[in-house]
Structures are given as C-alpha cells and as structure tokens.
Amino acid sequence: MESLIIFLVLLSLGYVFGKMSENRHYRSIHAREQALVTLPTTSSKKPIGNSAPIHHAELVHGHVVISVDYFKQMLAGLRNIFGGTIQSYETLLDRARREAILRMKERCPTADQILNLRIETSSISKGDVGDRIGSIEVLAYGTAISFESSSQNHLE
C-alpha cells in the first residue's frame, strides 16, 4: 500500500510540475511570436507581395529537442490500450514546431521574409522496451531573404 501511495504522489508531482513547465514554455513562445510577427514566413518558393530584386538570400534553420515526461508517456500508454487521440503528444509536437520556427526566425532578425519553410520531425527512442519515444526533435529551415529596396542592407 505504501508503494502505491508513493507512486501516486510522485505521479501527481510529475503532472503538476510538468504542466507548470509546459505553461511557462507556451507563455514564452507566445511572447516571442508576438515580437517576431513582422517577419513573414511562408512555404511558398516566391516572395510575398514584393517585386523588388533580392539583395541577399541565406539558408537559416532552427531546431529543438523536447523530452517526453513520464506522465505523458503513461497517458499515451493508456490511450494506446483504449484507442483515440493522444493529446499529450499533440501539445508536445505543437510546442516543438513553434519553438523550432521561432529559433529559425531569431537567427535572421534583419531578413525581410523567410521563404520555402520546411519542417522535419523525428522521434528519439528511449530504451529497448517497445521503442518508447524519449524525445521529439524538430528542425525548421528555409531561405531568409532581404530586398534591395529594404532599409536593411543585408542579413547577418
């Protein structure tokens, strides 16, 4: 009985602190997205709405690896038994994708646009037990451009 109580207490603490960490990360993401909202990013290969000649183009990338906490793994395991959407992994992927795009944008603060955005996602397995997911890696990359008519002269 004592082991069950300890397990439930640790599980509850993991849930509370994991949720707090996730909420703090979402607040950080939202604030940084607001700061970078003026840098348009598109999966299109052509610039958006500007016909000025391109002065500079550069490949930029951002990547992130986010670990899956034990509570999310337990929820996913239960969901695998009963079927349905694994929402705990969906929020993990959402945070990772948004973070990777933000890191990419932060690498080119003087760019006018980022074209041809691509996102690659992979899981990093942990251990031999059923190849459980230990972490999620997301890579975002694209081409940062600046125009000749821009007040900025070049990418740094």
Q: Would you call 37 helix, strand, or coil by DSSP?
A: coil
Q: Which CATH architecture is the domain 2-147 placed in?
A: 2-Layer Sandwich (3.30)
H runs (alpha helix) in the chain: 2-35, 70-82, 87-106
**Do the beta carbons of residue 132 and residue 123 sit within 8 Å?**
no
pLDDT along the chain (156 residues), means of 10: 86 82 93 94 88 90 86 69 74 93 95 96 71 80 88 47
**Do the beta carbons of residue 100 and residue 119 sit within 8 Å?**
yes
Q: Read off the pTM.
A: 0.80
Q: Write b or e for each residue in 5-25: b if 16 or more Cβ atoms lie within 10 A of its Cβ, otherwise e.
A: eeeeeeeeeebeebeeebeeb
